[in-house]
Structure 1
Amino acid sequence: MFEELRGRVVLVTGGASGIGAGIVDAFHGEGSTVVSADLSFPDGLQQDPQGTWTVGLDVTDEDAVAAVVSDIADGIGVIDTVVTAAGTSTLGFATETTAAQWDLNLDVNAKGSFLVAKHVAARLVDDERTGRIIFISSQAGKNGYRGMTAYVASKHAVLGVTKTMATELAPRGITVNAICPGIIETPMKHRERIEGGAIRGMTAEEVAAEDRSQVPLGRTGTPHDVAGVALFLASDLAGYMTGQGINVTGGMTMH
């Protein structure tokens, strides 16, 4: 579909499962050279039988992020497009949220996304190249949700970083946008239904039914729904878009 993505070097963090895995598959299908980075992978660049590269990465460790970006540039090619899909969540009402839960969400979701984007952007600037930075935020970056104080704060932060980096990097021809998924069927979402249901006195099945009832399109989303928007943002069609937070929510969030 997007011929210009063929051969492009794409880094996807959190690529082992969920939204990240869907994005990895989508770029691979377009013929991109994809590097899937995840905390669960072994250290060092390795290539699987399908041609996708994998590398272990803790996105909260700046030295590790810098090393991986450098290793990819030296061993594969300068990263043209990065998608920051690594993320986590904890459940708990504001009065019960611990400092440790706050730190975990802000470290992984906000700081981790920033560090990866920072080092990819710095390499693009040094090499005088254009590129695409795509953050995975959330509709939680635009709304407040009970029982998710730290997560919501972290995803609002991602949108703030998106707007600032878009402004700073626009003169360089580097676009910076965010995708704001709604309720997407992933292992993290399934865990959240169990944990969130427990603090609300509901079963996971009841939470899932409630989720579906809130979506105007009548269904929850899939990683494929998010991946299609990532491909668009990386393509030439999105060359005049930057600083945007694009909803992929089935109509649940419309602003």
Structure 2
Amino acid sequence: MSTVVITGSGSGIGRAMAVMLAERGWTVVATDVNEAAATETRLLLSTAAGQAHLSRQLNVTDGDAAQGVADEIADTIGLDAWVSNAGVSFMERFVDIPREKLDLTLDVNLKGVFLCGQAAARAMIRTSSAGRIVNTASMAGKQGRVPFLADYVASKFGVIGLTQAMAFELAENDITVNAVCPGFVATAMQERELAWEAALSGSTPEAVRDAWVAATPLGRLQTPDDVARGVAFLLSDDAAFITGESLSVNGGAYMD
């Protein structure tokens, strides 16, 4: 039975990943900066394959804490995969982004992926475990033509570059590293972004949502489950010879 740690799995995309992977037989360690949310996710997970799921509080910007989780899991039940999914966003015009907001975005979205990737890789190497690491990037990591998200774009471009660097160095340890790049995902975070973009552009949330759907060739906003299926593929045996890739899962909203 394989074990996966998922960061930011207290809600949204991370929770969908946890639920789907548990349904597919994985033992899941749900982590989140909000411990109660991580516990809530754990209680939702299927145990049909006999799994004993775990939950842990984890602030991904704390490298020591990330290492502690990785080592604990590696030494007790084995660490087979790590998904760095935790992320934050807010919207503001480039010239108005305050430094504290920039710091938070880069700390969580990029530095957090770096620190958690280090922790997971160190634990996998120490225990001689071939493993999988998946990072959540974004279609905003492949194009800068995104309004009011300059700091977010910078962080996600960084995640894609980091994914390639990690994949190159960790290949000799039989560790694959890939990223998943969602588009317009219907989550609580997106609801906030709809309101922010509407206010900044002088529009309405409904009009912004309609524009996002119109920009998606498959004709709908994507769901967290759409992203989770992409992650499940990257963790599966079918992706055993894929590394350093950033998989677009966005309904065609951005094609590369």
Which TM-score band applies after superposition, normalised by the shorter structure?
Answer: over 0.9
Note the C-alpha offset of 1:195. Answer: 1.3
Q: Deviations over 1:139-165 (max 9, x none)?
A: 000011120010000000100110000
For residue 43 of structure 2, the aligned residue among 20, 42, 48 is: 48
What amino acid does structure 1 have at the position aligned with 2:106?
Answer: L
Corresponding residue of 1:31: 25
Note the C-alpha offset of 1:52. Answer: 3.0
Contact 2:32-2:38 at 8 Å conserved across structures:
no
What amino acid does structure 2 have at the position aligned with 1:38?
Answer: D
Partners of 1:49 and 1:134 lie apart in 2 by 22
Output aligned runs, 1:180-219, within 5 Å.
180-219=181-220
State yes or no: 1:16 paired with 2:16: no
Corresponding residue of 1:101: 101
Contact 2:74-2:124 at 8 Å conserved across structures:
no
Q: Deviations over 1:164-221 (max 9, x none)?
A: 0000011111100000001010110111111121111111111111110100111110
Output aligned runs, 1:24-173, within 5 Å.
24-42=18-36, 48=43, 50=45, 51-75=52-76, 77-144=77-144, 145-173=146-174
What amino acid does structure 2 have at the position aligned with 1:32?
Answer: W
Partners of 2:204 and 2:28 lie apart in 1 by 38
| Identity score, percent | 39
Note the C-alpha offset of 1:72. Answer: 2.1
Note the C-alpha offset of 1:68. Answer: 1.6
Contact 2:10-2:38 at 8 Å conserved across structures:
no
What amino acid does structure 2 have at the position aligned with 1:201?
Answer: G
Note the C-alpha offset of 1:43. Answer: 11
User: Would the alpha carbon gap of residues 43 and 232 (structure 1) be closer, same or farther in structure 2, given more than 3 Å must change?
Assistant: closer
Corresponding residue of 1:4: none
Q: Deviations over 1:43-68 (max 9, x none)?
A: 99996374432111100011211122
What amino acid does structure 2 have at the position aligned with 1:78?
Answer: G
Unpaired runs of 5+ residues, structure 1, are 1-6
What amino acid does structure 2 have at the position aligned with 1:123?
Answer: A
Note the C-alpha offset of 1:42. Answer: 5.0
Aligned residue-pair number: 248
What amino acid does structure 1 have at the position aligned with 2:149?
Answer: M
Partners of 2:79 and 2:36 lie apart in 1 by 20
Partners of 1:232 and 1:209 lie apart in 2 by 30
**Over aligned residue pairs, what C-alpha RMSD do you find?**
1.7
Contact 1:215-1:251 at 8 Å conserved across structures:
yes
Note the C-alpha offset of 1:98. Answer: 1.0
Q: Secondary structure at the match of 1:118?
A: helix
Note the C-alpha offset of 1:78. Answer: 2.3
Q: Deviations over 1:53-103 (max 9, x none)?
A: 21111000112111222222334x221111111000011111111111111
Q: Secondary structure at the match of 1:132?
A: strand
Partners of 1:13 and 1:49 lie apart in 2 by 16
Contact 1:78-1:123 at 8 Å conserved across structures:
no
Q: Secondary structure at the match of 1:48?
A: helix
